[in-house]
Amino acid sequence: MNEKTEKTLNRLAVVRQELAALDSSLALLQAFSTGKLSLQGKGYTRKAETYHQTPADKARLPWTKANLEEQRRLLACELAVLLEYGA
């Protein structure tokens, strides 16, 4: 493994954090969309607790999920490049 500069190490840390956040977002999105998780009892506002998914929300779900997965794929590629070639 090559020695990494501080700039590369900082970027590696950011990319890893962003990947973890995307994984968490995808898991939550999946849980909310399947009804396995709700906001009830989570300390959110009353409006959020009583929210029900609308047809527009359901229509956006595939795009949102695909967008998050694409962001994750691109970050994973960046991570691989940084690990292999980062100076």
> In this structure, what token pair is assigned to residue 11?
């970027």
State the Cα–Cα distance between residues 32 and 40, nearest whole angstrom: 11
Question: How far is the C-alpha of 71 from the C-alpha of 54, rounded, in Å?
Answer: 25
Q: Are 4 and 87 in contact (CB under 8 A)?
A: yes
**Residue 9 binned pLDDT confidence (cut-offs 50, 70, 90):** very high
The pLDDT tens digits of the residues spanning 50-81 come to 777 788 988 998 999 999 999 999 999 999 99
d(C-alpha 13, C-alpha 11), whole Å = 5
- Cα angle 68-74-75, degrees, rounded to a multiple of 5: 90
Note the pTM of the prediction, 2 decimals. Answer: 0.78
